[in-house]
Amino acid sequence: MSPLPRSAPAVRRLMGGQTPPPLLLLLLLLCIPAAQGDCSLPPDVPNAQPDLRGLASFPEQTTITYKCNKGFVKVPGMADSVLCLNDKWSEVAEFCNRSCDVPTRLHFASLKKSYSKQNYFPEGFTVEYECRKGYKRDLTLSEKLTCLQNFTWSKPDEFCKKKQCPTPGELKNGHVNITTDLLFGASIFFSCNAGYRLVGATSSYCFAIANDVEWSDPLPDCQEISPTVKAIANDVEWSDPLPECQEISPTVKAIPAVEKPITVNFPATKYPAIPRATTSFHSSTSKNRGNPSSGMRIMSSGTMLLIAGRACVTLTVLLMVLVTIG
């Protein structure tokens, strides 16, 4: 962008080379804003866009800050803005560079503090991790990740392994059930032999405390059930009987999961004139199930049909009689 024309020759150029009448020249000069000290549009910076804040002009001392394009990050310590001074913008170097994303989050390790506030990770940059609580370092594997050429992080090895809790030992007159392992996060379950009662926790889990791992609960006691109780316990064994699983009663089972037509049969003996009336009804909604009024509704509409049927038969008989007479 060139600065606004301020001199008479510039105005003459504007008018197509002709000398404008003096009055028009005066008017033009008055109408052109005082552009002294204004800067033009801020310069282009690679991989960045200026934040113009909606400004149309850039007077002396205006500061314009740039934002890096997506996938680019500001290089720390480099200027990211320009200042309008004496008609000119200050110099700005290329300050946006490609960067890896924030380093991969690992369940077994966390990024060392010194990198946690950083967001610029150029190609070849390495970051270090430290093991999380409950994990210990596997020194045979590297704890570093590198920002690769394609700006992704190198694949992490599992350089921290779960710590193991001490072996729980034997549970006298009982059993320790190790379902998975004794590693950080694992649970173990306790049970007592027949004739013994468990006093204490029924399970324990391996958790991290300070720089170590330990069991949440100690082994329980398996206490001998007392003689009087034992006498009964001899063939009963348990204080409470086992729960019984009974078949759901047929009436409960019979409740259909989906709407089902209800078939109502009307005995032929009661209304001999009608050919066996088998009528199907749909119960309106499942909410009506078990509601006595719904059954009554079915009955009344059935009766209506019967009356209609009876009238029809009467008419037929009447017609037949008329035909016979005729």
Ligand X SMILES: *[C@@H]1O[C@H](CO)[C@@H](O)[C@H](O)[C@H]1NC(C)=O
* Site residues for ligand X per CB under 6 A: 75, 97-98, 122-123, 148, 150, 152, 175, 177, 179, 189
Residue nearer to ligand X on the CB measure, 150 or 293: 150
Q: Name which of 62 and 146 has its Cβ closer to ligand X.
A: 146
**Maximum alpha-carbon separation in the chain:** 130
Residue 94 Cβ vs ligand X, minimum distance, rounded to whole Å = 6
- Residues 6+ away with beta carbon under 8 Å from 23: none
Q: How far is the CB of 282 from ligand X (least distance, A)?
A: 48
Nearer to ligand X, 98 or 144 (CB): 98
The residues that bridge with 63 in the sheet, in sequence order, are 83
Residue closer to ligand X (CB basis): 79 or 306: 79
Distance separating alpha carbons of residues 292 and 288, to the nearest angstrom: 8
Q: How far is Cα 262 from Cα 271, in angstroms, rounded to an integer?
A: 21
Which CB, 19 or 177, lies closer to ligand X?
Answer: 177
Reference 170, options 145, 192, 150; nearest CA is 192
Residue type, 317: V
Taking the complex as a whole, how short is the minimal distance between the CB of residue 195 and ligand X, in angstroms? Answer: 17
Q: Which of 35, 40, 37 is nearest to 50 (CA)?
A: 40
Q: What is the nearest approach in angstroms of ligand X to the Cβ of residue 13?
A: 42
Provide the b/e sequence for 211-232 (b: ≥16 CB within 10 Å): eebebeeebbbbeebeeeeeee
Between 74 and 163, name the residue whose CB sits nearer to ligand X: 74
Residue with smaller CB distance to ligand X, 37 or 124? 124
Rounded to a whole number of angstroms, the minimum distance from the CB of residue 207 to ligand X is 20
CB of 90 to ligand X, least distance (A): 18
* Burial zone of 70 (CB within 10 Å; 0-12 exposed, 13-18 middle, 19+ buried): exposed
Supply the minimum distance, in Å, between the C-beta of residue 177 and ligand X: 4
Give bridge partners of residue 110 from the DSSP assignment.
130
Residue 146 corresponds to which tokens in the numbers above? 């590198």
